[in-house]
Amino acid sequence: QAGWKGFREADAGVHRLQSLVLVNYGGASGLQLLELARRIQRDIAERFSVELEMEPNLSISESWRAVESKKPCLADVRARLFC
């Protein structure tokens, strides 16, 4: 109903079937995904008077698993996700 399903802006987007799932199509930064999430939150609040809450769930790719296996500290993980 809100029109966000399948929305895409560069490499940050919304899943075509599930409007509550953000998708990184390859080159989006964590900040770009966060900005998209906040944009959707504002839009839904303004149009429907509904406050959406974020539930951060990560789907980790195989390439990230290789990085993860080197046991980076939490600060490193956050920097990679949000820079």
Series of mean pLDDT values for 10-residue runs along the chain (83 residues): 92 90 89 91 94 74 53 44 39
For the packed helices 74-82 and 30-48, what is the interaxial angle rounded to 10 degrees? 60
Looking at residue 58, its pLDDT comes to: 61
Looking at residue 73, its pLDDT comes to: 44
- What is the distance between the terminal CA atoms of the chain, rounded to a whole angstrom? 32
Query: Reduced to 3 states, what is the DSSP secondary structure of residue 81?
Result: helix
CB atoms within 10 A of CB 14: 22
Structure pTM? 0.66
